[in-house]
Amino acid sequence: MVFFRTTAFSDTQPAIEGERVILRQPQMSDYSEWAALREKSREFLGPWEPVWPADDLTRAAFRRRLKRYTEDQRSDQAYSFFIFRKADNVLVGGITLSNVRRGVAQAGSIGYWMGQPYARQGLMTMALRAMILFGFTTSRLHRLEAACITTNVASIRLLEKSGFHREGYARQYLCINGMWQDHLLYARIKDDPPHLRR
């Protein structure tokens, strides 16, 4: 029988450099830029995210968010990053490796969001590629999973061109935008050929 040890991580992960993007752990100094981008993108993101709490964009809520990110990382449950455009270090979105399962699973789930001004510029494709590398190398996972609402054409294209395979359909899988929504289930295995399309 083979046993898998969990990977020990420090409180701070080094930045992950991808093509045209840098993934970095959120910091309190990011608050103003993050809050402005989320507010500007509220209508754009609303159909694809859980309903935001009334205080979601406050400094206190952001501080609580950072505390949760740190706790999740310490316990090897999740790793959250902000996505910065490499050319000018502007915050463009976020990406998370969450629901990390060790033992015989060695798997985790990827979620992401992109600010409206930066959508459809290829930046999330680059960020996802960097996160895939992090998941399979630094985190030593065997399987990466993602789910998206059946009508989210942009996310379906992103996952499929990044080497994820559609594996199933989950009815009323997550409560998104105030409603239980059906999702398509995707996964990529460490040994899958990359076949990344531009």
> pLDDT, tens digit, for every residue of 102-130?
999 999 999 999 999 999 999 999 999 99
Q: Is the pLDDT of residue 132 over 70?
A: yes
d(CA 165, CA 171): 18
Q: In this predicted structure, what is the pLDDT of residue 14?
A: 84
Q: In this predicted structure, what is the pLDDT of residue 153?
A: 96
What is the pTM for the complete model shown? 0.90
Closest CA to 82 of 114, 57, 52, 107: 114
Q: Is the pLDDT of residue 80 over 80?
A: yes
Largest CA distance in the chain: 52
Q: Is the pLDDT of residue 179 over 80?
A: yes
The residue assigned the tokens 């505390």 is 67
pLDDT band, very low/low/confident/very high, at 195 (cuts 50, 70, 90)? low
Average pLDDT of the residues of the chain:
92
Q: Is the pLDDT of residue 84 over 60?
A: yes
Closest CA to 108 of 151, 79, 150: 79
Amino acid at residue number 24: R
Domains of the chain: 16-144 (3.40.630.30)
